[in-house]
Structure 1
Amino acid sequence: MDQVLEQPHVLLAGLAEALSAGEVVPYLGPGISALAELRAPMTPEALADFFAGKTALPRRARGNCWAAAQYIENYRFRDTVTLWMKEAYAAPVAPSAFHRWLAGLPLPLVVDAWYTGEMRRALAGRGDWAEVQGITRAGIGEDRWFRFYDAQGRPADAATAAKAATLLYSPHGSVDPDANFLISDADYVEVLTEIDIQTPIPEDVRNRRTGKTFLFLGCRFHDQLLRTYARQVMKRSAARHYAVVEFAKLTRNERRFLDEQGIVPIDLPLAEALATLIAPGRD
């Protein structure tokens, strides 16, 4: 690992080639868009602060967006959680240059691990992609864990998604097109009871990830829920993965997680790493 970290730009050049060949699955966190100044909350902590600005929260829920959403759901009902999530992400977040670069690649699978929908906007110029989003089961009266959409944002089915050249997987949901949000503790308790047997992860996602390397960009794993999701999405993929991180800023739990999951840290500022990946002539 030390030798890899001594030459991060060389490693990124190789990963860019592998991305262009569809051999790597990009796992995108909100840190990419957070490089620009945005009104939308782009970290779990910022989202918790947004909730705190809407209502008084008990101490246990402060700074924790999942617990804050659960408190709001308990005392103001689920419709309020959805309404406030839509308000938090009402201002569209434009795709970055990196999102647009990814949209031009033949990627079988892209994971977008936040609520703002930049990657689906980057793909909007294409007609050969589909999306599957995680959904809350609260009050829907259906035994389902996710919903499919075609390239126009219309409801679709698993067969349609399976035919898509690129499948966008938004495991936590997204503000667009239908404001699907996995956000409260109760949402995740339901998912986590079955995630070990992979039921909440769509079959086509499981098929497309098989044997693939994951590249984590703009992600943090300082929260157990975020680590659990990443671990389960990576199941039955390649043995080695990569994450662009500033290693000195990682918590002990994050370092342990990277080591346990075979994720090689690429110790660079995110903006520098993204610029290296999309360097001219790389595609």
Structure 2
Amino acid sequence: MTSPLTQLPAEIEAGLRAGRVVPYLGPGMLSLVPQYAVPGTPEALVALLTAKVSVPHKIRSRLTQAAQFIENFKHRKTVVDLMNNAFAAAPSASPLHAWLASLNLPLIVDTWYDEAMSTALHEAGVKWGEVQGLSQSEHFGSWTGWYDRDGNPLPDRAPDWATLLYKPIGSTSPAGNYLVSDSDYVEVLTEIDIQTPIPQEVQALRSGRSFLFLGCRFNDQLTRSFARQIMKRSSDRHWALLPDEPTRMEAKFLAEQNITRIALPLDSLAAVSAQAA
């Protein structure tokens, strides 16, 4: 399959092919999969949740606060059911997802709840499995859940996996694991500085590697906190596709983490992927 990275520095593709660059995917990747009808932004997701359950007006557009209100007044099970419904559409993947899946990358980080990347890995026929972040309200004392490519739970990573998919805030499949409410994030952020919620396997695989951020924004403290901690003790050089002018806090974060901004739209890569598919 032809590389979609022709407009990017050659060292990025070389690093991906050599396993030295880790793709770090955000919800913006779903803009490449229009036939996969699930929410592709926190704003779209909270709109779905609050359309089903009434929440105070002042938090209607704030995902974690709205989810916490629903959890407090309608029970955690209601939150999980709403999330399952929001992401219930049959999954699909873009050519860019498929290209990444074809590389047998040691590690892919995916920071949204959808199944596009796991679908691409499954369709590529590679040996892979995933590890997901778990809510302490449902799995007290366990920070992560491991699953093989068919969704079967495992105690740990299988030795024959070529690719590990890390879903730090959970996923709709196979078990409806979600970090989404304020309390979910408070529990994780309390420990993430000392890396407890991040699997040892992920910590080992990130060592010395660079990150390529695709479909991510850093205009929220939570996304910055997760990225900062997941990148800890990795390489000192990274890249992010960020076509829009960064906010002041985004620019500060990029400089702090030595992330080079590439001012290209994500669909510029997708177009090449589609032609190559």
TM over 0.5: yes
8 Å Cα contact 2:206/2:233 also seen in 1: yes
1:226 aligned partner: 223
8 Å Cα contact 2:33/2:93 also seen in 1: no
Corresponding position: 1:108 with 2:112: no
Give 3-state SS (helix, strand or coil) of 2:212's partner: strand
1:210 aligned partner: 207
1:257 aligned partner: 253
1:270 aligned partner: 266
- For residue 41 of structure 1, the aligned residue among 33, 36, 39 is 39
Output one character per residue of 1:22-60: Cα deviation in whole Å (capped at 9) or x when no partner: 110000112122234353111111111112211222133
Distance in 1, matches of 2:149 and 2:21, equals 22
8 Å Cα contact 2:28/2:214 also seen in 1: yes
TM-score, with structure 1 as normaliser: 0.90
Question: Unmatched 5+ residue regions in structure 1?
Answer: 1-7
Distance in 2, matches of 1:278 and 1:112, equals 21
**2:77 aligned partner, one-letter code:** D
CA shift, 1:228, in A, is 0.4
1:170 aligned partner: 167
**1:174 aligned partner, one-letter code:** S
2:137 aligned partner: 138
**Greater alpha carbon shift after TM alignment, 186-195 vs 51-60:** 51-60
Give 3-state SS (helix, strand or coil) of 2:149's partner: coil
- 1:2-81 residue pairs with structure 2 within 5 A? 11-37=8-34, 38-81=36-79
Distance in 2, matches of 1:171 and 1:159, equals 15
8 Å Cα contact 1:29/1:216 also seen in 2: yes
- Give me the identity figure in percent: 48
Distance in 1, matches of 2:72 and 2:192, equals 24
Distance 1:238 1:276, change over 3 A: farther
Distance 1:146 1:206, change over 3 A: same
Distance in 2, matches of 1:89 and 1:51, equals 11
Distance in 2, matches of 1:195 and 1:92, equals 33
Q: How many residues align?
A: 271
**1:231 aligned partner, one-letter code:** R
Distance in 1, matches of 2:197 and 2:211, equals 19
Question: Unmatched 5+ residue regions in structure 2?
Answer: none
1:186 aligned partner: 183
RMSD of aligned residue pairs (Cα, Å)? 1.9
Corresponding position: 1:201 with 2:198: yes
Give 3-state SS (helix, strand or coil) of 1:187's partner: helix
**1:152 aligned partner, one-letter code:** D
CA shift, 1:66, in A, is 0.7
CA shift, 1:143, in A, is 1.3
1:119 aligned partner: 117
Give 3-state SS (helix, strand or coil) of 1:158's partner: coil
Distance in 2, matches of 1:14 and 1:194, equals 34
**2:267 aligned partner, one-letter code:** A
CA shift, 1:214, in A, is 0.1
Distance in 1, matches of 2:44 and 2:149, equals 30
Distance in 1, matches of 2:138 and 2:264, equals 44
Distance in 2, matches of 1:25 and 1:92, equals 27
